Chain A
């Protein structure tokens, strides 16, 4: 299986601190690849480097062979790299449906002039955005809350809303940053099924950062382990669990 995402030798520095040192991370097409590691290992920083939200000091990011290195975040998003956030980033000044319609931003083509003059392109675009949004809300099971203000949703549903919004962007690669944070075990289980359905029914390739090991071990096709900004292991869930270096990193044994 060819790698959809290839992040090679990515280094990120914050002042004198090396947050990431030559980290490699690949995600095979159509798979769920997880990124795990102790707190502060650089998992979110790697996601930020892949989406362009922090500048990498060196290294490259390629999506399906296309070099994304140096592109600003919105152009990477337009290329199909879509993400969710560890601490929710909903548009609280909009309804649930509008949030998801905003997710479809990159798929709509009409401009401001078409909107001001209400040209046919506007009506077509808005119908399309509405249809996409409703379909994505149905996919995550939020259809009945479409008209509610996004900020009024309970926490677990806000997480689902972020998933629906990301899905509306028709992601080529979907980066999920701790999607289970703050969810109870039942919600986490449902989330795992949802992520699997995204892969199986939508063909979405998923990169996952998560602390809930049951979820990670249950749905990942492969796992990359980061510790202190370096990749220390990579492989199938079973292999990674047996790796002594990984065990040491989690238990705080080795001196890296």
Chain B
């Protein structure tokens, strides 16, 4: 159902991502695009949780951090090759989410938000205080770059291409989940949990599944972040970052599959464009967020869809007038 459309949308998206670096004058912007892709991976997973299943996590940055530190430590301290370290980091992040989810997701209400808030704070404290392992507040360096079967992703451009491909695949997987029995169950939980339950949906199980999946995506993004910057520090994974991921989802358009990607790229790139206004940067940043939410209540993706609808209606009207 709509698979060929999803496939071509994801393909088109990949082509767009791969073309972008060639349109940019400055190589520095490739690193912004890389950070955009990494943020988008987390945001797409979080969108599945917030926008589709209606559950809130206030600790997703901690899952990103867990992925980053796990993969970083496995490659440096334990000397693992990068690829298995990433796989292991993702599994570990998912397992952590699963353990948090088991007791909290059986309850209805905002228990998941509270539990993830607490989890995020604990993880932050561990990153800062377990100095022997994590290097404390200053973090640790020397994380190797990604190498797969002898091919080293040592330039920004090659790494960006890899991330673009991964993001496109993630989007396709995401769409496939949404357009299935499990996806309908998730959306059903969002609007009428009792009815979903009475249709045979295992509500706690479905929530646990989507929470684990979204944490796994965050872990993957974190691991790939560590192997890109070759450096991790706790300041990248604090509470405010968790909030920022939520803002990406909401600003992009909750429950719109492409919204989270738009939100992630927009919020990653925005500070770069505002850098010229150094004194009022933060004020402008906040102002733009407020204005977007006021005038685009369905998010960037919803606003664009509406604009496109208007353009098409006008064009159709014009053609009808000529005919």
Interface residue ranges, A against B (CB under 8 Å): 51, 53, 72-74, 77-78, 82-83, 85, 89-94, 98, 101-103, 105-106, 108, 110-112, 115-118, 122, 125-126, 129-130, 165, 169
Contacts and interface: CB of A to CB of B under 8 A. Distances in A.
Interface centre among B3, B188, B196, B255 (most CB of A within 10 A): B188
Interface stretch (B179-187, B243-251, B284-292): B179-187
A200 B116 CA distance: 51
Contact of B198 (A83, A101, A116, A126): A83
Contacts of B200: 74, 77-78, 105-106, 169
A162 to B, nearest CB: 8
Given A51-B198, A77-B199, A112 B187 contact: no
Main secondary structure on A side of the interface with B: helix
Contacts of A106: 199-200
Interface stretch (B201-209, B234-242, B271-279, B306-314): B201-209
A126 B188 contact: no
A72 B205 CA distance: 12
Contacts of B183: 115
Contacts of B181: 105, 108, 110, 115, 125, 129
Contact of B199 (A92, A112, A116, A169): A169
Contacts of B209: 112
B196 to A, nearest CB: 7
A90 B195 contact: yes
B199 A115 contact: no
Nearest to A101: B184
Interface string B140-178: 000000000000000000000000000000000100110
Interface centre among A73, A108, A126 (most CB of B within 10 A): A73
B194 interface: yes
Contacts of A53: 194, 197-198
Given A115-B182, A126-B1, A165 B199 contact: yes
B194 A93 contact: no
Interface centre among B173, B188, B199 (most CB of A within 10 A): B199
A82 B196 contact: no
Nearest to A165: B199
Size class of the contact patch on chain B: 20 to 34
Contacts of A78: 200
Contacts of B180: 110, 112, 115, 122, 126
A165 B198 CA distance: 11
B192 interface: yes
B180 to A, nearest CB: 3
A113 to B, nearest CB: 10
A105 B184 contact: yes
Interface of B: 1, 3, 173, 176-177, 179-185, 187-188, 190-192, 194-203, 209, 255
A103 B1 contact: no
A82 B195 CA distance: 10
Contacts of B195: 85, 89-91, 165
Contact of B197 (A73, A101, A108, A115): A73
Contacts of A90: 191-192, 195
A73 B183 CA distance: 20
B20 to A, nearest CB: 27
A89 B182 contact: no
A98 B182 contact: no
Given A105-B201, A106-B200, A89 B184 contact: no
19 contacts: A51-B198, A53-B197, A73-B198, A82-B198, A82-B199, A85-B195, A89-B195, A90-B195, A91-B192, A93-B187, A94-B188, A102-B185, A102-B187, A105-B181, A105-B184, A110-B180, A111-B182, A115-B180, A118-B3
A169 B181 CA distance: 13
| The 5 nearest A-B residue pairs measured at CB | A115-B180, A106-B200, A89-B195, A77-B200, A89-B192
A89 B177 contact: no
Given A115-B177, A118-B176, A74 B197 contact: yes
Contacts of A77: 197-200
A122 B255 CA distance: 23
A93 B191 contact: yes
A92 to B, nearest CB: 5
Contact of B194 (A85, A101, A118): A85
A47 to B, nearest CB: 10
Contacts of B198: 51, 53, 73-74, 77, 82-83
Nearest to B54: A93
Nearest to A175: B198
Nearest to A48: B194
B184 A112 contact: no
Contacts of A73: 197-198
A102 B190 CA distance: 13
